Amino acid sequence: MIRILFAVLVVLSFSACKGSSIQRVLQPRQEVAVEDSSGARVYFLRSSQAFGRRRMLRVLENEREIGRIAQGRYLCWETTPSRKLITAVFERRPIDGGDITGVLDLSCEPGQVYYCVAEQAMNDKGAPKLRTLSAAEGRALVEKQRPAKVDL
C-alpha cells in the first residue's frame, strides 16, 4: 500500500510541474518584423537543457505578466520604446525552495526586434540567467521552437 501511495505521489509531483504555455498579451503577426514601426518587438525564449525542463517560466515586462512558457515554446509581443525590466520567474514547488527570479534590463528602440533567452543554472537551484541574443541567434532559436498559445 505504501509503495502504491508513493508511486501516485511521484506521478502527481511530475504532472504538477508541467503546464500549458500561455501568452497573456496579443501576439503580433509573424510575417512582419515589427507591425508598428513606432514600437519594438520582443521575443522571449527558453534555452533547451535537461535541468528544469518540466518547470514553467513566468515572464513579466515591468509589472505586466506576458505569459508562461515551458521548454520549446516562446513568447512574442510588441511594446513601447523605453527601458524595460524583463523578469523571469522559474516556478518551483515550495518543497524545492519556491520560485526563483532572474531579471534583464532591456532598452527598446522604435522599429527594433529583441531576442531574449532564459537559461537555467545547471544545478536547477540558481536563478534563471537572462541575456539578449543577436538577431541571427534569436531567429535560429525561434525556428526551433513554437509560440505559446494566446489566452487573453
**Would residue 105 count as lying in a domain?**
yes
Distant-in-sequence, close-in-space partners of 94: CB < 8 Å, separation ≥ 6: none
**Mean pLDDT across 89-101:** 84
| pLDDT at 25 (0 to 100) | 96
- Look up the domain containing 39 and give its range: 20-150
β partners of residue 78: 41
Q: What is the rounded average pLDDT for all residues in the chain? A: 84
Q: How many residues does the chain have?
A: 152
Query: 64-92 pLDDT, tens per residue?
Result: 999 999 989 999 999 999 999 999 998 87
SS3 of residue 127 by DSSP: coil
pLDDT of residue 100: 86
**Is residue 14 in a domain?**
no
Q: How far apart are CA 36 and CA 23, in angstroms?
A: 20
Query: Is 50 exceeded by the pLDDT of residue 13?
Result: no
How many degrees, rounded to 5, is the angle at CA 118 between CA 100 and CA 112?
A: 130
pLDDT at 11: 42
Whole-angstrom Cα distance, residue 44 to residue 147? 10
Residue 13 lies in a domain: no
3 pLDDT exceeds 60? no
pLDDT at 122 over 70: no
**Distance (Å, rounded) from C-alpha 44 to C-alpha 66?**
10
- pLDDT over 70, % of the chain: 80
Per the DSSP assignment, residues forming a β-bridge with 85 are: 105
Rounded CA gap, 139 and 115, in Å? 8
Partnered with residue 132 across adjacent β-strands are 116
- Per-residue pLDDT band for 93 (boundaries 50, 70, 90) equals confident
Specify if 4 maps to a domain. no
Question: Is residue 41 within 8 Å of residue 137, measured between CB atoms?
Answer: no
**Total number of domains in the chain:** 1
pLDDT at 7 over 80: no
Of the ranges 1-5, 6-10, 94-98, 130-134, which is most confident? Answer: 130-134
Tell me the whole-structure pTM to 2 decimals: 0.82
Q: Is residue 137 part of a domain?
A: yes
- Side chain identity at residue 43, one-letter code: Y
